[in-house]
Amino acid sequence: MNLQHRKRSSRTRTEMVHVAQHLSEIQPYHGVNLFPSFGQLDRERGHWKITIRGVVFEPFFDEYQNRILVRFLQRAMKVDPYSMDSDIFRQRVGAFLAQHGSGIRVAIRIGHKLYRLRRRTKRNGHFSGVLRLSVADVERMRNEGQIQSDWLHFRVVTAEGDQRKITGQAQLIRPNGVSVISDIDDTIKRSDVPIRSELLANTFLREYESIPGMSRLYRKGAENGVAFHYVSSSPWQLYESLKDLCQEERFPHGTYHLRTLRLKDPRVLSLLLPTRWGKRRTICSILKAFPSRTFVLIGDSGERDPELYGAIARKYPGRVSRIYIRDLETRSMDTARLRKAFRGRTNSMWRLFTDADQLTTDWEKLLGGSG
């Protein structure tokens, strides 16, 4: 009896593997990145909606395109060729040169269940989808350890013989509470966005450097149950480097929302400069996903964060409790810009700072009232 049961279980597992391999078209030569996302509770329907986002690529590039890109960056950064002979440069620029895996079917394994995403990867290799898990399934996975500190773990289904474990995470964010939407460049990472040559050099040549005190401030928030969303005009090709910085500097784990940038011509890298890439649409989608949560918006004066955050606060009255703007020497906020950016908002809603310590008292007061 027990032997028969073991045989049936073994046969079931084998059948499941074969089914999984037919669901997914990820091959051993494909690289896959899964980006941290979130899950939202639908109380009326009794399930969690889990957002899955990632990219499929092939780690091969055209040597001619590589030479063109290197020459362009050398001129734009105003550096000699020897400055670009480094592992940092090769790693970061390589992400822009990888071939896109378009039209590929992706399947995800969550716990014991398999899910095939409805849409294949786009021309740029990116894919996304929303999966639904019952509340009961989520609680079971919590008990089994597949959900840790509200982060759900899942895997990409790969081809037969491919032993890689390509894992991703989605934060299960409760309907009520406080969330921070934070910019990255010049807010938590030194980038020097207003100076083009410095921005490119900081992006491709130098070790990433965090803004002093910001990780400590953010950790205090995370300890009090604050959820973090990192929304930036940096392209997805830099995600791995940005993730490494946040881990090294102990920034709270959070969801990432970066810009999709497809490299057809090296001049497209000029788009690393401030632009209206859809950041407002991304932030608004997060607010709509969590209509009962309160938001804190944190950015800097180097880009259009003050104007963008002020507009969002006006569009969603009562949803934004604070706006913090790091004031940069290279593009400091003047009275006219402040007045225009935050028109119609009370002075207590927004605050400029140059040092993270200047926010400590207000931040603790805000956290004390979030419970």
Of 185, 193, 174, 239, whose CA–CA distance to 210 is shortest? 185
* Judgement on whether residues 199 and 160 belong to the same structural domain of the protein: no
Residue 371 has pLDDT above 60, yes or no: no
Query: How high is the pLDDT of residue 83?
Result: 85
- 227 neighbors 254 (Cβ within 8 angstroms): yes
Residues 6+ apart with CB under 8 A from 163: none
The one-letter code for the residue type at 46 is G
Alpha-carbon span 258 to 21, nearest angstrom: 30
Q: Is residue 3 part of a domain?
A: no
Q: DSSP secondary structure string, 120-182?
A: ---TTSEEEEEEEEEHHHHHHHHHTTSEETTEEEEEE---TT-----EEEEEEE-SSEEEEEE
How confident is the model over 308-364, as pLDDT tens digits?
Answer: 999 999 999 999 999 999 999 999 999 999 999 999 999 999 999 999 999 999 999
DSSP state string for 296-337: EEEEETTTTHHHHHHHHHHHSTTTEEEEEEE-BTTB---HHH
| Within-domain flag for 129 | yes
Both 152 and 287 in a single domain? no
Clarify whether residues 209 and 152 are in a common domain: no
Phi-psi region at 90: left, alpha or beta (left = phi > 0; alpha = psi -120 to 50) = alpha
Task: Identify whether 21 is part of a domain.
Answer: no
Provide the domain limits for residue 321. 177-368
Q: How confident is the model over 224-243, as pLDDT tens digits?
A: 999 999 999 888 999 999 99
Residue 78 maps to a domain? no
- Is 269 domain-assigned? yes
Which one, of 23, 55, 21, lies nearest residue 37 by Cα?
A: 55
- Does 256 lie in the same domain as 305? yes
Instruction: Sort 169 into a burial class: Cβ within 10 Å, 0-12 / 13-18 / 19+.
Output: middle
Q: Judge whether residue 7 has pLDDT over 80.
A: no
Q: Classify each residue of 284-323 as buried b or exposed e, where b means 16 or more C-beta atoms within 10 Å of its C-beta.
A: eebbebbeebbbbbbbbbbbbbbebbbbbbeeeeeebbbb
231 class by beta-carbon count within 10 Å (0-12 exposed, 13-18 middle, 19+ buried): buried
Calculate mean pLDDT across residues 89-110: 91
For the entire predicted model, the pTM comes to 0.90
How confident is residue 80, by pLDDT bands cut at 50, 70 and 90?
A: confident
Q: Are residues 224 and 168 in the same domain?
A: no
Section 67-76 average pLDDT: 84
pLDDT digits (tens, 9 = 90+) for 149-185: 999 999 999 988 899 999 999 999 999 999 999 999 9
| Percentage of the residues of the chain whose pLDDT score is greater than 90 | 69
**Chain-centroid distance, C-alpha 281:** 15
- Per the model's pLDDT, the better-predicted residue between 262 and 152 turns out to be 152
CATH number at residue 149: 2.60.40
Residue 211 within a domain: yes
Q: Are residues 107 and 198 in the same domain?
A: no
331 assigned to some structural domain: yes
148/277 same-domain check: no
One domain for residues 106 and 162: yes
Q: How many domains does the chain have?
A: 2
* The two structure tokens encoding residue 63: 């040597």
Q: Distance (Å, rounded) from C-alpha 24 to C-alpha 127?
A: 13
Domain edge (last residue) among 151, 173, 195: 173
Q: Between these two residues, 61 and 150, which has the higher pLDDT value?
A: 150
CATH of the domain at 196: 3.40.50.1000
- Quote the DSSP letter at residue 118: S
In a domain, 106, yes or no: yes
187 close to 298: Cβ distance less than 8 angstroms: yes
Report whether pLDDT(35) > 50. Answer: yes
Q: Indicate the residue among 122, 153, 173 that finishes a domain.
A: 173
* 320/356 same-domain check: yes
**Same domain assignment for residues 169 and 224:** no
Question: For 185-210, what is each residue's pLDDT tens digit?
Answer: 999 999 998 888 899 899 999 999 99
Residue 252: strand, helix, or coil: coil
Specify the pLDDT at position 278.
80
Q: What is the pLDDT of residues 271-309, one digit of tens each?
A: 455 555 589 999 999 999 999 999 999 999 998 999 999
251 shares its domain with 215: yes
Indicate the residue among 173, 188, 212 that finishes a domain: 173
User: Are residues 251 and 144 part of one domain?
Assistant: no
